Amino acid sequence: MSNTVPPSGERTDKWQRALDATIRTLRTSKFWSELFIMTAAVFMCAVAIHFFLYPSGIITGSATGVAIVFNRLMPGITTGNFILIINVLLLIVAFIILGPEFGAKTVYTSIILGPFVDFLADVAPIDGSLFATDIAGTMYSDLWSDALWFVLIIGIAQAILFSVNASTGGLDIVGKIITKYTHMPIGTSVAIVGILSCFTALLTSSLGNVLMGILVTWINGLIIDYFMSKMSTKIRVMIVVDDPTKTKDYILHTINRGVTIHEVYGGYTGKKKYQLETELDQKDFTKLRQYLSTTTENTFVTADPVSDVYGIWREKPHLKQLEEEAEVESTVTIPNSRRIKPE
């Protein structure tokens, strides 16, 4: 059986469409805002590694922790280079299993993490713990202070990256894969993989340091899950109005979210009203509150947190697609004539 090679014209069109899609992506504010967010989050990781992880000597369950072990075994290669090597291997897996968006974003974060770590080592070298104290001429490190600041900063950074479908690479990729197939919280997955990898530190560190690393890795997973839950929390808003038209249009076309309308009756007056229900993030809820504060309509609003929302909520373009489909379904086809909307 012979393979059919597409004509050169089709191949050219395919590459042109891919180029056009890339250019459109580069022109969106979402791309540049996420690029800034990822860069800032990775720099936070580098700060946590350089100022708190290195001085403490703790081997955490991460690609960085494994890289530190390899660096101590082979000091001729920098820790940053070991981080890069480990990430490249796992990135291939990320592209295959987790998709091109996650893979591409993680490629970027993985590439800049190692250089950020080495950059801080050059511009802000440190000889020991920032929390070291001098007792009778001997410097004593505060291991717990280093460990707690490390897991706090890097946990927040990892949660930020996961929220934009990215990661620092390395073992976070393995954790993401576990979450994809088991649906367990991402922090839990990362902690499980990290704890297993902590045992590699037995090659260069004491059992006490390894046990400390396991504890730090577990706390790191808890911090990731905590901040992920905070960032994924949505707000269910209930609005009772006499006429829902203006508020409904604002939610649909300005905020670009879905809305459900119920007929309700006042328990005291018995009058018929309308209750609008919508799920928003904090940014959209702020917009809605500002709008409602300027409207002359008599409204009654309640809001409560929702742990997560599934379905088409996450993709705003789907709402426009549904509107277009409804537009098509509302037309009438007349033979030998154009499609027209019913009056």
Extract the runs of DSSP E, i.e. beta strands, from the chain: 133-135, 138-140, 234-241, 260-265, 272-280, 300-306
Per-residue confidence in pLDDT tens, the chain, 343 aa: 455 555 555 656 766 776 676 677 667 777 788 889 999 999 999 999 888 887 777 767 777 667 777 777 788 888 778 877 877 788 888 888 888 888 888 888 888 888 898 899 899 888 777 776 766 666 666 778 888 899 999 999 999 999 888 888 778 889 999 998 998 899 999 999 888 888 877 777 778 878 888 888 899 999 999 988 888 788 899 999 998 899 999 999 888 888 999 999 988 888 899 999 998 888 888 999 999 888 877 888 999 988 777 666 555 545 555 555 555 454 444 344 343 333 3
C-alpha 113/C-alpha 116 separation (Å) is 5
**Confidence at residue 313, expressed as pLDDT on a 0 to 100 scale:** 54
Query: How many residues comprise the chain?
Result: 343
**Confidence at residue 342, expressed as pLDDT on a 0 to 100 scale:** 39
CA quadruple 212, 213, 216, 218: dihedral, nearest 10: -110
C-alpha 139/C-alpha 156 separation (Å) is 30
Q: How far is CA 318 from the centre of its chain?
A: 20
Whether the Cβ atoms of residue 126 and residue 51 lie closer than 8 Å to each other: yes
C-alpha 199/C-alpha 238 separation (Å) is 51
- Contacts of 199-208 spanning 24+ positions with Cβ under 8 A: 200/59, 200/65, 200/66, 200/69, 201/59, 201/65, 201/69, 203/69, 203/73, 204/59, 204/69, 204/72, 204/73, 205/57, 205/59, 205/69
Q: pTM here?
A: 0.70
**Confidence at residue 324, expressed as pLDDT on a 0 to 100 scale:** 55
